[in-house]
Copies of this chain bind each other. A is one copy, B any other.
Amino acid sequence: MGVQNSIASKQMSIKHELDTLFKPKSIAIIGASSKELSIGNVITKNLIHFNYTGKIYPINPKEPEIRGIKAYPSIFDVPDEIDLAHVIIPSKFVPQIIEDCGKKGIKSVIINSAGFSEMGDEGVALQNAFLENAKKYGVRIFGPNCQGIINCDPDYNAYCDFTFTFPKPGTISIVALSGGVGAFIMQSLFDLDIGMRMYASNGNACDISISDVVEYYGQDTGTKAIILYTEGFHNPKEFLETAKIVAKKKPILAMKSGRTEAGAKAAASHTGSLAGVDISTELIFEKTGVLSFTNEEEMCQAAMAFSTQPIPKGNRVGIITNTGGPAVIATDELVSAGLEIPPLSEKAVNILKNTLLPEATIGNPIDVVATGGGAHFRSALDVLMDEENIDSVFINFVTAPFTDTDEVARNIVEVSKQKKKPIICNFMTNLSFERYQHTAKIMRDGGVPCYSFPTTAAKALGALYKYHKIQSREIGEAMVFDDVEKSTVFNILSNSEKDKFLSSENVFKILEAYKIAVANWAIADSYEKAEQISSKIGYPVVVKAESPEIVHKSDKGGVVINIKCKDELRTAIQNINKNFSGTNLKYLVQKFMPGGKELIIGVSAGSNAGHLIMFGMGGIYVEVLKDVVFKLSPVTQTEAQEMLSTIKSAKLLDGVRGQLGIDKKSVVEIIQRISQLVTDFPQIKEMDLNPVMAFSDKAVAVDARIKL
A455 contacts B by Cβ under 8 Å: yes
Q: By CB atoms of chain B within 10 A, which of A181, A190, A271, A332 has the most?
A: A332
- A297 and B164 contact, Cβ closer than 8 Å, known pairs A180-B396, A325-B178: no
- A619 and B657 contact, Cβ closer than 8 Å, known pairs A325-B231, A624-B652: yes
- A657 and B620 contact, Cβ closer than 8 Å, known pairs A179-B323, A430-B190: yes
Q: By CB atoms of chain B within 10 A, which of A263, A271, A365, A657 has the most?
A: A263
Contact among B177, B296, B453, B656 with A454 in the assembled complex (CB-CB below 8 Å): B296
Q: How many residues of A contact B (CB 8 A)?
A: 93
Contact among B39, B180, B433 with A164 in the assembled complex (CB-CB below 8 Å): B433
CB of A296 within 8 A of CB of B184, answer no
- A328 and B258 contact, Cβ closer than 8 Å, known pairs A335-B263, A428-B183: yes
- Bound Cα distance A200, B431 (Å): 22
- A361 and B269 contact, Cβ closer than 8 Å, known pairs A181-B326, A184-B326, A297-B452: yes
CB of A453 within 8 A of CB of B323, answer no
Q: By CB atoms of chain B within 10 A, which of A323, A331, A648, A651 has the most?
A: A331
A578 contacts B by Cβ under 8 Å: no
A399 contacts B by Cβ under 8 Å: yes
CB-defined interface of A475-508 with B at 8 Å, one 1/0 digit per residue?
A: 0000000000000000000000000000000000
A608 contacts B by Cβ under 8 Å: no
CB-defined interface of A450-483 with B at 8 Å, one 1/0 digit per residue?
A: 0011111000000000000000000000000000
CB of A325 within 8 A of CB of B181, answer yes
A367 contacts B by Cβ under 8 Å: yes
CB-defined interface of A134-159 with B at 8 Å, one 1/0 digit per residue?
A: 00000000000000000000000000
- A452 and B188 contact, Cβ closer than 8 Å, known pairs A258-B332, A399-B164, A624-B651: yes
Interface members, chain A 191-243 (any B CB < 8 Å): 191, 229, 231
- Bound Cα distance A64, B624 (Å): 77
Kindly list chain B residues whose C-beta atoms are within 8 Å of the C-beta of A267. Answer: 324, 328
Contact among B164, B255, B297, B361 with A401 in the assembled complex (CB-CB below 8 Å): B164
Kindly list chain B residues whose C-beta atoms are within 8 Å of the C-beta of A432. Answer: 190
Kindly list chain B residues whose C-beta atoms are within 8 Å of the C-beta of A329. Answer: 181, 255, 257, 263, 296
Kindly list chain B residues whose C-beta atoms are within 8 Å of the C-beta of A403. Answer: 37
CB of A367 within 8 A of CB of B270, answer yes
- Bound Cα distance A454, B370 (Å): 36
A521 contacts B by Cβ under 8 Å: no
A273 contacts B by Cβ under 8 Å: no
CB-defined interface of A162-196 with B at 8 Å, one 1/0 digit per residue?
A: 11110000000000111111111001101100000
A625 contacts B by Cβ under 8 Å: yes
Give the Cβ gap from A168 to chain B, nearest Cβ, in Å.
Answer: 12
A38 contacts B by Cβ under 8 Å: yes
Contact among B114, B398, B431 with A180 in the assembled complex (CB-CB below 8 Å): B398
- A191 and B452 contact, Cβ closer than 8 Å, known pairs A177-B325, A270-B367: yes
Interface members, chain A 383-430 (any B CB < 8 Å): 396, 398-399, 401-403, 428-430
Closest chain B residue to A627 by CB distance?
A: B625
CB of B656 within 8 A of CB of A623, answer yes
Taking Cβ atoms with an 8 Å cutoff, the residues of A that contact B are 37-39, 42, 114, 162-165, 176-184, 187-188, 190-191, 229, 231, 255, 257-263, 265-267, 269-271, 294-297, 300, 319, 323-329, 331-332, 334-336, 340-341, 359, 361, 363, 365, 367, 370, 396, 398-399, 401-403, 428-433, 436, 452-456, 619-620, 623-625, 648-649, 651-652, 656-657
